[in-house]
């Protein structure tokens, strides 16, 4: 396959940035999207140019490090797929592909397609945990958990923190990310003692970071590579209201 890429290039946070066009030839349909960019970057390095900076690590869809807006869609158009798991067989020969970073004020661009998502860590710091120092835990079977609750908690807990939800949301809201963690922990008996303080602190931190509010658009769950359900946001709102009483 031969492709035309239009890629966002930005030297650093202060640079204004611009789209740059590249031609990539002899792309195999079995390549992953990132492997296609690797090939381009190898060429750029040899030409003495700066390779396109992008975040990636596990390349198996679980670390949450990669993320690009591809043809206007966070992680591209394949459903439930991270950028690293997207393969070139889903593109037409001679296609023009635009590649941009996540765009949201709380995710400032570091360079090219790399953004700063440390706001997510700070939301977790606010309360996304159960306080249990190492060595203090009772026997694992001392508290049974209903299978349906454990399964639903797991579904919410599969969030990889990639930030696609924020990138896709017209409001730049981090509600799906925050709600996934609140839901995961509030469905489990172990999460009950801190349930109220957790919901309050995490929601307040999310707002303090400058993320927008949720208006139930649902773009977040549509692009989420792990399919975190939208009703986690309802759970978050319920817990927040409960905590605010």
Residue 31 engages another protein in binding (rule: CB under 8 A)? yes
Residue 116 engages another protein in binding (rule: CB under 8 A)? yes
Q: Which is nearer to another protein, 153 or 179 (CB)?
A: 153
Residue 95 engages another protein in binding (rule: CB under 8 A)? no
Q: Locate the DSSP E strands across the chain.
A: 3-9, 18-24, 69-70, 73-74, 96-100, 109-111, 114-115
- The two most distant CA atoms of the chain are separated, in Å, by 63
Q: Which is nearer to another protein, 147 or 245 (CB)?
A: 147
Q: Which is nearer to another protein, 168 or 185 (CB)?
A: 185
Residue matched to tokens 């790399």: 114
Q: Locate the DSSP E strands across 68-157.
A: 69-70, 73-74, 96-100, 109-111, 114-115
Answer for which of 3, 7, 40, 65 binds another protein (CB under 8 A) is 65
User: 192, 217 in Cβ contact below 8 A?
Assistant: no
Of residues 125-184, those binding another protein (CB under 8 A): 125-126, 128-141, 143-147, 150-151, 153-154, 157-158, 160-161, 184
Instruction: Tell the burial category of 35 from Cβ atoms under 10 Å away from its Cβ (0-12, 13-18, 19+).
Output: middle
Q: Which region among 16-24, 63-71, 96-104, 212-220 touches another protein (by CB under 8 A)? A: 63-71
Answer for which of 68, 117, 199, 219 binds another protein (CB under 8 A) is 117
Answer for which of 5, 64, 203, 236 binds another protein (CB under 8 A) is 64
Answer for which of 188, 202, 214, 220 binds another protein (CB under 8 A) is 188
**Backbone phi and psi for residue 51, each to the nearest 5 degrees, phi listed first:** -65, 160
Residue 200 engages another protein in binding (rule: CB under 8 A)? no
Q: Which region among 47-55, 97-105, 207-215, 235-243 touches another protein (by CB under 8 A)? A: 47-55
**Number of residues engaging another protein in binding (CB under 8 A):** 80
Angle between helices 231-244 and 175-186 (to 10 degrees): 70
Instruction: Identify the three-state secondary structure at position 95.
Output: coil
Residue 45 engages another protein in binding (rule: CB under 8 A)? yes
Structure token digits, residue 190? 């172990």
Residue 193 engages another protein in binding (rule: CB under 8 A)? no
What pairs with residue 115 in β-bridges? 109
């Amino acid at each position: 396959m031969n492709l035309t890429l239009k890629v966002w290039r930005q030297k650093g946070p202060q640079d204004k940035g611009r789209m740059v066009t590249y031609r990539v030839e002899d792309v195999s349909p079995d390549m992953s999207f990132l492997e296609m960019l690797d090939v381009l970057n190898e060429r750029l390095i040899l030409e003495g140019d700066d390779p396109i900076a992008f975040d990636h690590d596990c390349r198996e869809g679980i670390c949450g490090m990669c993320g690009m807006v591809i043809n206007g869609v966070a992680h591209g158009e394949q459903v439930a797929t991270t950028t690293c798991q997207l393969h070139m067989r889903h593109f037409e020969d001679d296609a023009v592909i635009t590649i941009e970073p996540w765009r949201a004020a709380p995710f400032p661009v570091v360079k090219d397609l790399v953004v700063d998502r440390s706001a997510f860590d700070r939301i977790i710091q606010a309360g996304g945990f159960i306080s249990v120092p190492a060595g203090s835990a009772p026997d694992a079977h001392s508290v049974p958990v209903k299978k349906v609750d454990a399964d639903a908690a797991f579904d919410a807990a599969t969030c990889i923190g990639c930030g696609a939800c924020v990138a896709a949301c017209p409001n730049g809201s981090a509600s799906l990310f925050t709600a996934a963690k609140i839901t995961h922990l509030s469905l489990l008996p172990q999460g009950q003692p801190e349930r109220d303080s957790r919901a309050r602190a995490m929601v307040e931190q999310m707002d303090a970071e400058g993320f927008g509010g949720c208006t139930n658009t649902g773009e977040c769950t549509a692009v989420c590579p792990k399919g975190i359900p939208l009703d986690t946001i309802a759970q978050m709102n319920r817990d927040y209201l409960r905590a605010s009483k």
